[in-house]
């Protein structure tokens, strides 16, 4: 019989997950080796199943070495005592079948329920419902094909059919193709597919809800070339946007000047520079969002009058006399909206000392139901953090971890506290 899944490390994002990775024929098979590796590195056990055509693009030996498991390529495999790999493969603890690449022909086979090769046969035979105590095994397809093949009405019909039958389609991406053409049909990259799978497994605690996030620093101009900013990297806010999208939310991310890619999934990004621009972007959005998470490190003050031209040193030793005005408090402004327009507001407090006391003061001063406190200087720019949740009930510590793991834990806390959907809210 098949090997039992290995005992995984509990702290990795795919720990405990057993993935059946199917390869159908396509040049993108070269990315599947990397994908197998990414899934194993993320804690999953990976069982590879390949079609004959896939074996022409990459060898089972490569996939076996990367997954440390025998590869299955045909339904008459004599290694299985009951001669039924198409049944056994999805019955022995599989959490998902991921077919990458999924060729146009393979998608057509799945759409029609054909079973002429082990991989299609196994997809047809996988449990669809939890009947008889079994667990449904979801199917995820990562299409890879020439752009004309992807755009063809026959392929689009088949894709719509497999979706209607419950499969999840990941991508495809647009770009350069192996055939030299440019367009839709490229398989997603291995790391993107890994992240899609991790997202797929997250509990959908915010399904259909609208979440607004501010992230990063602001930049307050002194003149056209200089300004005042801070060390916020935006990583925590971007992690929260990603975690909320993974939990099924539609996310609007208002970002100050940061060097971070927009998280995958349902995340709409609005880039701003100054606190005033951030407020102008947030206010019209706040009214149609149910949750507002303000992680941005908004500058408290800005130069009263930014010079239109660069301030010049004149050799006299005189320095420019800068005067400041206070910036609007974005979080407090949103928290004061009339109840029917006000989202559930979550503030952050980056402190260097007396963290909980300052967070509790902020809770009262800003009039928000939840403040998330952290040690600002210790976390700026880093990938890990530790959070303390402060609300009217008391304090709760989220144990130190990487920002994404903390963001997922925070999303779960927010989901548990946010009031039921407002009538009239989107979705």
Is 33 near ligand C5P (CB under 6 A)? Answer: no
Is 275 near ligand C5P (CB under 6 A)? Answer: yes
Tell me whether residue 110 or residue 330 sits nearer to ligand C5P (CB atom): 330
Please check whether residue 239 is in contact with residue 406, taking contact to mean a CB–CB distance below 8 angstroms.
Answer: yes
Q: Is 179 a catalytic residue?
A: yes
**Ramachandran angles phi, psi of 18, nearest 5°:** -110, 115
> Site map for ligand C5P, 294-333, x if CB under 6 A?
xxx-x----------------------------x-xxx--
Tell me whether residue 72 or residue 348 sits nearer to ligand C5P (CB atom): 348
Q: What is the total count of residues that contact ligand C5P (CB under 6 A)?
A: 14
Per-residue exposure over 250-267, b if at least 16 CB sit within 10 Å of its own CB, e if not: bbbbbbbbbebeebebbb
Q: Output helix, strand, coil percentages for the chain, rounded to the nearest 5.
A: 35, 25, 40
Tell me whether residue 158 or residue 214 sits nearer to ligand C5P (CB atom): 214
Query: From the CB of residue 318, how many other CB atoms can be counted at a distance below 10 Å?
Result: 8
Please check whether residue 254 is in contact with residue 267, taking contact to mean a CB–CB distance below 8 angstroms.
Answer: no
> Site map for ligand C5P, 337-366, x if CB under 6 A?
----------xxx------------x----
> Site map for ligand C5P, 155-194, x if CB under 6 A?
----------------------------------------
Listed residue (243, 245, 252, 258) closest to 287, CA to CA? 252
Q: Please state the closest distance from residue 351 (CB atom) to ligand C5P, in A.
A: 8
Q: What DSSP assignment string belongs to 315-359?
A: SS-------EEEPP-HHHHHHTS-GGGPPEEEEEEEESSSHHHHH
Tell me whether residue 43 or residue 303 sits nearer to ligand C5P (CB atom): 303
DSSP structure class, residue 217:
B
Tell me whether residue 105 or residue 329 sits nearer to ligand C5P (CB atom): 329
Q: Please state the closest distance from residue 305 (CB atom) to ligand C5P, in A.
A: 19
Q: Please state the closest distance from residue 218 (CB atom) to ligand C5P, in A.
A: 8
Query: From the CB of residue 101, how many other CB atoms can be counted at a distance below 10 Å?
Result: 28
| The dihedral formed by the CA atoms of 146, 151, 155 and 158, expressed in degrees to the nearest 10 | 130
Tell me whether residue 67 or residue 218 sits nearer to ligand C5P (CB atom): 218
Whole-number Å distance between alpha carbons of 178 and 155: 19
Is 211 near ligand C5P (CB under 6 A)? Answer: no
Positions marked catalytic: 179
The residues of the shown chain that bind ligand C5P, judged by CB under 6 A, are 214, 275, 294-296, 298, 327, 329-331, 347-349, 362
């Amino acid at each position: 019989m098949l090997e039992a899944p290995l005992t995984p490390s509990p702290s990795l994002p795919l720990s405990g997950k057993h993935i059946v990775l199917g390869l159908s024929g396509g040049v993108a098979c070269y990315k599947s080796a990397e994908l197998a590796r990414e899934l194993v590195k993320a804690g999953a056990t990976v069982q590879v199943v390949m079609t004959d055509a896939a074996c022409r693009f990459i060898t089972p030996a490569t996939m076996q070495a990367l997954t440390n498991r025998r590869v299955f390529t045909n339904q008459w495999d004599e290694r299985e005592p009951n001669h039924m790999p198409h049944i056994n493969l999805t019955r022995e603890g599989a959490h998902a079948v991921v077919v990458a690449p999924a060729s146009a022909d393979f998608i057509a086979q799945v759409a029609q329920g054909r079973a002429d090769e082990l991989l299609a046969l196994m997809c047809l035979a996988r449990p669809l419902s939890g009947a008889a105590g079994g667990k449904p095994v979801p199917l995820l397809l990562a299409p890879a094909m020439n752009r004309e093949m992807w755009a063809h009405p026959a392929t689009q019909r088949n894709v719509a059919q497999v979706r209607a039958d419950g499969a999840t389609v990941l991508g495809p991406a647009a770009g350069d193709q192996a055939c030299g053409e440019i367009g839709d049909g490229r398989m997603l990259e291995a790391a993107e597919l890994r992240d899609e799978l991790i997202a797929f497994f997250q509990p959908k605690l915010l399904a259909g809800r609208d979440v607004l996030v501010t992230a990063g620093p602001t930049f307050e101009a002194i003149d056209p070339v200089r300004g005042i900013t801070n060390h916020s990297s935006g990583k925590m806010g971007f992690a929260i946007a990603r975690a909320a999208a993974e939990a099924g939310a539609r996310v609007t991310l208002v970002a100050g000047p940061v060097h971070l890619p927009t998280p995958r999934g349902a995340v709409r990004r609005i880039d701003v520079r100054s606190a005033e621009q951030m407020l102008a972007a947030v206010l019209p959005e706040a009214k149609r969002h149910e949750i507002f998470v303000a992680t941005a490190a908004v500058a408290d003050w800005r130069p009263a009058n930014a010079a239109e031209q660069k301030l010049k040193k004149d050799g006299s030793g005189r320095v420019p006399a800068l005067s400041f005005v206070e910036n609007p408090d974005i979080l407090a402004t949103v928290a004061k909206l009339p109840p029917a327009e006000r989202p559930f507001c979550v503030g952050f407090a980056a402190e260097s000392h007396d963290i909980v006391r300052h967070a509790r003061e902020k809770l009262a001063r800003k009039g928000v139901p939840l403040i998330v406190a952290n040690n600002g200087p210790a976390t700026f720019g880093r990938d890990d953090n530790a959070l303390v949740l402060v609300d009217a009930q008391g304090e709760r510590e989220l144990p130190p971890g990487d920002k994404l793991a903390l963001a997922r834990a925070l999303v779960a806390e927010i989901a548990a506290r946010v009031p039921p959907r407002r009538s009239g809210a989107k979705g």
